Each structure stands twice: as structure tokens, then as C-alpha cells.
């Protein structure tokens, strides 16, 4: 096994994945700028042969299911032993899915919970761009800063913000921020 690159945020992870096309990406869920769930979704849709394994401190159902639904092939907790990580990489390389034993129960319960839910969540109704804008808003960026960051006009960012607020039935950026934290789109700094 050889480490070919490291990225400190999701946007850089996407750029490096497109440039280097690695076999496996070990992805953190909580990252600034673009979280691991959105980055995984974009990487897997753009480079289908790349496998992603989540390595996170979060065992919460929203994070685990979010990563798996985004296309991750495995999920481990950061406190796992190196041997478990190496074993997970080998499992995923053979085409299998790997879940840390602590995570398997979360996945089963999440699956059973989803089977009883009939309607999609508000996050499911948002586009990938809207989720990206929501994360950046929740991280405290202004519409102008977001526009420069994702190469959109300020008007387009404001339209996305208005659409997000409409879909979530919210009236302020503070409400959006609380929602994004509660739904695991952003993490509180330790």
C-alpha cells in the first residue's frame, strides 16, 4: 500500500482524486469547505472505479448512512487499530463492503428506520449544489465569499439560499446553521 496524497478538505480531495485516480480513498466525514459526504458523492459519481472508506470519529446514524448512501464502500471509526484499517482496505479492494463492528448495528437500525419512513427528508430534496451552499453558509461564509469560492455569481448564491430556505421552511441563516449542525452537514469545532 502506498499513500499518494493527502487533502485537508473535501474540495481538495476531489481535485486530487481526479488528478491521481487512486484505488482507495480514506475520507474523513467532517471537513471544512466541503464535508466528506458531499466529496464522496462527487468522487464516486465522477470516478466510479475509485473506492472510498470513511474513517471518522462519528458513529451517529446520519453520518454513517450519509457516507454509505454517497457511495462509500466502508466505514471505520478513528479509534480502530491499524490492522482493522488495513483489513478494511483489503476487503474493499476485493469488491466487498467493510463496516466496523461498532458501525454495523447503526447501519442495520438505520436501514430498518428508513424502511418505515415513507417520505424523503428535506436534505434528500436539496440538490448537491444546495447542500454545498448550505454547508458554506453554516460555516459562516457570506454570499459574496461563497460566490467567489464556488465560482458563481452572488445572485445565484442568493437564489440557492432562498431555495434552501423555502425547502426547509426556514427564514434565517441562523436557522439554517442550526439545521446543518443537527443534520450533520457541518460539525461543531472541538
Residue ranges of domains in the chain, CATH in brackets: 10-116 (3.40.50.2300), 122-182 (1.10.10.10)
Range of weakest confidence among 7-16, 41-50, 85-94, 96-105: 96-105
What mean pLDDT do residues 133-158 have?
A: 94
The per-residue pLDDT for 41 is 95
pLDDT confidence of residue 70? 94
Share of the chain above pLDDT 90, in %: 61
User: Cβ distance 81 to 52 under 8 Å?
Assistant: no
**Collapsed DSSP state (helix, strand, coil) of residue 153:** coil
CA distance 105 to 140: 34
| More confident position, 115 or 124 | 124
Give the pLDDT confidence score for residue 16 in this predicted structure.
Answer: 97
Q: How would residue 98 be classed by pLDDT, with cut points 50, 70 and 90?
A: very high
The phi, psi pair for 35, rounded to 5°, reads -70, 165
Mean pLDDT along residues 67-79: 93
pLDDT at res. 118: 54
Going by C-alpha positions, the residue among 167, 157, 65 that lies closest to residue 109 is: 65
DSSP state of 99: E
Whether 86 has a pLDDT exceeding 90, the answer reads yes
DSSP 60: -
Q: Are 146 and 133 in contact (CB under 8 A)?
A: yes
Q: Measure the CA–CA gap between 55 and 79, rounded to whole angstroms.
A: 9
User: Residue 190 and residue 177: Cα distance in Å, rounded?
Assistant: 17
C-alpha distance from residue 126 to each of 51, 122, 130, 152 (Å): 25, 7, 6, 18
Angle at CA of residue 100, ends 97 and 103, nearest 5° = 100
- Can you give the pLDDT at residue 147? 95
Q: Which of 2-11, 113-122, 160-169 has the lowest mean pLDDT?
A: 113-122
Amino acid at each position: 500500500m502506498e499513500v499518494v496524497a493527502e487533502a485537508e478538505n473535501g474540495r481538495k480531495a476531489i481535485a486530487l482524486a481526479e488528478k491521481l485516480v487512486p484505488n482507495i480513498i480514506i475520507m474523513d466525514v467532517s471537513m471544512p469547505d466541503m464535508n466528506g459526504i458531499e466529496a464522496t458523492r462527487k468522487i464516486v459519481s465522477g470516478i466510479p472505479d475509485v473506492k472510498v472508506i470513511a474513517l471518522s470519529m462519528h458513529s451517529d446514524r446520519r453520518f454513517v448512512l450519509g457516507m454509505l448512501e454517497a457511495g462509500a464502500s466502508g466505514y471505520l471509526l478513528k479509534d480502530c487499530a491499524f490492522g482493522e484499517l488495513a483489513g478494511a482496505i483489503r476487503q474493499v479492494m476485493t469488491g466487498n463492503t467493510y463496516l466496523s463492528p461498532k458501525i454495523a448495528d447503526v447501519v442495520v437500525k438505520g436501514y430498518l428506520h428508513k424502511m418505515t419512513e415513507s417520505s424523503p427528508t428535506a436534505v434528500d430534496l436539496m440538490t448537491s449544489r444546495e447542500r454545498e451552499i448550505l454547508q458554506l453558509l453554516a460555516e459562516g461564509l457570506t454570499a459574496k465569499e461563497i460566490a467567489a469560492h464556488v465560482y458563481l455569481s452572488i445572485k445565484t448564491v442568493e437564489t440557492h439560499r432562498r431555495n434552501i430556505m423555502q425547502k426547509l421552511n426556514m427564514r434565517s441563516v441562523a436557522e439554517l446553521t442550526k439545521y446543518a449542525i443537527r443534520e450533520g452537514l457541518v460539525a461543531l469545532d472541538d
